[in-house]
Amino acid sequence: MHLGFIGLGHLGKAIAGHLADCGHTLTVWNRTPSKAEGMKAETASSPWATTDKAEIIFVCMFDSKAVHSILSQEGGLLSGDLSGKIIVDLSTNHFKEVPLFHELCAKAGGVYLEAPVLGSVVPASQGALTVLVSGNEAGYEKARPVLENIGKNLFYLKEPGLATKMKLINNLALGSFMATIAEALSLGETVGIKKEEILEILSVGGGNSLVLNAKKNKLLQEDFSTHFSSALIYKDLHCLQDLAYEEKKTLFTGAVVKELYARTFAEGIAQEDFSAIYKLFKKG
């Protein structure tokens, strides 16, 4: 199938590359065109130009502001008739923005599916993400075979907004696990235990988790090249706090962990992988 793909950051490029490896042909667009260099894909002159040959167009942006821009800018996805087109938005949006995206695409004749993913660059390159989807059921069923190329697990939460809210809730656990593992590692080193031993014990003890398994080598080697940045988890936890506020629910661990990731900006490491939060605890 020929697909459109907009947004070639760390995650987007990994997903697009895997779709190409699965035999799909792609037309891609990115605000910085050089990000498409080396890809097996045609490059488009605008977001709208990705719709020319494609029935399904993937969007993978940093935040809702960026999604709104590629929808509504000159040459954006809403520049023409979207009849027969499905917009699959892999971005983690603010839950308050998502209903508008559904509405705007429907008015243009298309179908908008919010489809935030769980996982980062490595599982994306393997087609092993988890994909949460909300929106039009017929659109979901039509896009499902392609979604199965990128997602080992698919969850369809029909009501618009639920997939986005669930992604934010998942990232409460993700950010909290990472911060706790990093703090435990730092404390263990302080009392004189080797890093390798601490991580090995945690991996068969209370720290055993997908998070530790995914980030063990980064922590061992202190290689914090970005798979999923602290800036992104901070943004997601901020959206989660807004959700808790709207629901009049307390958010104890989420609030503390969000502020820990806020510190990565002051330390100049917000664009590094979110496992670099270890540096905060190591520094003391």
- Tens of pLDDT, residue by residue over 201-216, are 999 999 999 999 999 9
Q: How far is CA 102 from the centre of its chain?
A: 19
Give me the mean pLDDT over the 168-188 stretch. Answer: 98
Give me the mean pLDDT over the 30-49 stretch. Answer: 94
CA-based nearest residue to 96, from 256, 259, 228, 240? 240
> Which of the listed residues 141, 158, 175 is the one where a domain comes to its end?
158
3-state class (DSSP) for residue 83: coil
* pLDDT tier for residue 125 given thresholds of 50, 70 and 90: very high
Query: What gap in Å lies between CA 37 and CA 49, rounded to an integer?
Result: 18
Query: What gap in Å lies between CA 30 and CA 38, rounded to an integer?
Result: 14
Contact 216, 199 (CB under 8 A): yes
Do 98 and 194 fall into the same domain? no
**Alpha-carbon separation of residue 30 from 44, 80, 172, 217 (angstroms):** 8, 19, 29, 31
Do 21 and 83 fall into the same domain? yes
Determine the residue type at 190.
T
What pLDDT, on a 0 to 100 scale, did the predictor assign at position 284? Answer: 80
Q: By CB neighbour count within 10 A (0-12 exposed, 13-18 middle, 19+ buried), where does 205 fall?
A: exposed
* Alpha carbons within 13 A on the beta-carbon side of 249: 11
Do 151 and 180 fall into the same domain? no
What pLDDT, on a 0 to 100 scale, did the predictor assign at position 97? Answer: 97
> Which pair of structure tokens corresponds to residue 25?
């042909």
- The 10s digit of each residue's pLDDT in 73-110 is 999 999 999 999 999 999 999 999 999 999 999 999 99
Contact 126, 20 (CB under 8 A): no
Q: Which domain does 253 fall in, by range?
A: 164-283
The CATH number linked to 79 is 3.40.50.720
279 pLDDT exceeds 90?
yes
Do 23 and 140 fall into the same domain? yes
> Which pair of structure tokens corresponds to residue 97?
């923005």
Do 115 and 237 fall into the same domain? no
- The 10s digit of each residue's pLDDT in 10-27 is 999 999 999 999 999 999
Give me the mean pLDDT over the 136-143 stretch. Answer: 98
> Which of the listed residues 118, 134, 158 is the one where a domain comes to its end?
158
Find residue 117's DSSP bridge partners.
131
Give me the mean pLDDT over the 169-175 stretch. Answer: 98
Give me the mean pLDDT over the 120-140 stretch. Answer: 97
What pLDDT, on a 0 to 100 scale, did the predictor assign at position 253? Answer: 96
What pLDDT, on a 0 to 100 scale, did the predictor assign at position 128? Answer: 97
> Which of the listed residues 158, 188, 216 is the one where a domain comes to its end?
158
Contact 131, 154 (CB under 8 A): yes
Do 140 and 26 fall into the same domain? yes
Do 37 and 116 fall into the same domain? yes
Do 139 and 195 fall into the same domain? no
What pLDDT, on a 0 to 100 scale, did the predictor assign at position 179? Answer: 98
Report residue 77: phi and psi, to 5°. -65, -20
Do 180 and 277 fall into the same domain? yes
What pLDDT, on a 0 to 100 scale, did the predictor assign at position 54? Answer: 97
When divided into structural domains, the chain yields a total of 2
